[in-house]
């Protein structure tokens, strides 16, 4: 089935008892056993599984082309479960511009437990130099946040698998509508489902999708079940509801982002635009090969430094100054401020989550703010 059909049908089924067309919300925390002690409904206790979560995990797995998916209470909880599944002392190679929430997890929560290096994963020689006997995972984020760097997934996978190293890809920016890392050889995909899956800035969630149900995946499932960082039935229901429109929303985000990037690239007050759909992007050709669409995120740097960037962002009316991304409304933020003192982000950079407003209105708002 095509993504539009998967998104609508793989997270839903007609309720057997009421014949409701939409799966009802099951709030029960526990489920009845049969006389022989088994669970005919397939669920024991809601921390372990729930009908709404099962449907959410099914639709996400199907969209990514994976063997199974696990839903979590946030993207950070999903990422942390991966790190918790690794044996103490495991070495991780991660991008030098890794999402700061997961980077800080490693630096603060896993210091002394795991080993890690943050490097330019697009430099294959640097990746080779940092391999060691205990390297167990290469973490990719493509396109990256907020520099929109694109990493050649197939190239990293080929190197990693030669050394029996797993590859995980944060696919939050791209979504499975724009990129399918498992089809490119990755072992695991991560999402902050708070973002495009939720799509309306009112849900929190995370997800992991595996290429195969192996021992590592079972360990991750154990972390999910025993750790209990799971989404509520209501959140699962709402995420399934939102995912039904994901393919169509993403098309609108891509359309607006491409036109906005082209407008900004021609503006005399803009230093650089970072968007994979521009031919000027350093990895544009890689993006064309491995992506199905270029996504709805872009960043740009403003001539005149941090002060001018702040003047621009404070002059906008339609773009909301806020963290997060993937909602129908356009958001903009001064990313370096959010990331803190060890940021790799230029201080004249503004990151934009391009929403679904009319593109003419978005361009007009930026035209006025840029002056």
CA angle 157, 147, 111 (to 5 degrees): 65
**Six-digit token string for 40:** 């005919």
- DSSP annotation string for 102-167: HHHIIIIISBTTBEEEEE-TT-HHHHHHH--TTEEEEEEESS-TTT-----HHHHHHHHHHTT-EE
Check whether the bond before 120 is cis (ω within 30° of 0): no
Place of tokens 């939720």: 198
Place of tokens 């890690």: 116
Which residues are known catalytic residues? 47, 99, 170, 195
d(CA 371, CA 368): 5
Nearest residue to 32 via CA among 21, 41, 24:
41
214: alpha, beta or left, given left = phi > 0 and alpha = psi -120 to 50? beta
d(CA 367, CA 263): 10
Q: Where are the alpha helices (DSSP H) in the chain?
A: 3-9, 51-64, 75-84, 100-104, 124-130, 153-162, 175-178, 215-227, 233-243, 246-266, 284-290, 305-314, 335-339, 359-370
Task: Round to the nearest angstrom and report the end-to-end CA distance of the chain.
Answer: 48
Q: What are the backbone dihedrals phi and psi of residue 188, each rounded to the nearest 5 degrees, phi first?
A: -150, 145
d(CA 311, CA 321): 12
The HSE-up count of residue 154 (CA atoms within 13 Å, CB side) is 9
């Amino acid at each position: 089935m095509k993504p539009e059909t998967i998104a609508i049908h793989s997270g839903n089924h007609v309720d057997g008892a009421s014949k409701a067309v939409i799966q009802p919300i099951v709030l029960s925390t526990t489920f009845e056993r049969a006389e022989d002690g088994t669970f005919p409904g397939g669920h024991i206790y809601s921390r372990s599984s729930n009908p709404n979560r099962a449907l959410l995990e099914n639709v996400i797995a199907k969209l990514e082309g994976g063997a199974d998916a696990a839903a979590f209470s946030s993207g950070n909880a999903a990422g942390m479960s991966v790190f918790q599944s690794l044996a103490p002392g495991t070495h991780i190679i991660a991008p030098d511009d890794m999402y700061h929430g997961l980077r800080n997890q490693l630096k603060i929560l896993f210091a002394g437990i795991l080993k890690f290096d943050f490097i330019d994963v697009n430099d294959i020689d640097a990746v080779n130099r940092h391999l060691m006997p205990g390297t167990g995972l290469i973490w990719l984020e493509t396109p990256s946040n907020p520099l929109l760097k694109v990493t050649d997934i197939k190239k990293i996978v080929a190197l990693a698998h030669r050394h029996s190293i797993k590859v995980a890809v944060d696919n939050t920016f791209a979504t499975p509508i724009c990129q399918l890392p498992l089809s490119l050889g990755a072992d695991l995909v991560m999402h902050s489902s708070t973002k495009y899956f939720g799509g309306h800035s009112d849900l929190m969630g995370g997800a992991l999708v595996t290429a195969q149900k192996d021992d590592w995946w079972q360990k991750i499932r154990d972390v999910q079940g025993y750790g209990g960082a799971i989404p509520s039935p209501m959140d699962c229901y709402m995420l399934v509801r939102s995912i039904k429109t994901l393919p169509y929303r993403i098309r609108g985000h891509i359309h607006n982002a491409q036109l906005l990037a082209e407008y900004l690239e021609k503006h005399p007050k803009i230093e650089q635009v970072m968007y994979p759909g521009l031919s000027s992007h350093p990895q544009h050709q890689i993006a064309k090969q491995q992506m199905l669409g270029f996504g709805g995120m872009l960043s740009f740097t403003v001539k005149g430094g941090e002060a001018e960037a702040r003047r621009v962002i404070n002059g906008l009316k339609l773009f909301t100054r806020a963290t997060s991304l993937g909602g129908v409304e356009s958001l903009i933020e001064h990313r370096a401020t959010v990331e803190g003192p060890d940021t790799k982000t230029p201080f004249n950079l503004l990151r934009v989550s391009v929403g679904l407003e009319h593109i003419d209105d978005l361009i007009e708002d930026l035209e006025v703010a840029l002056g």
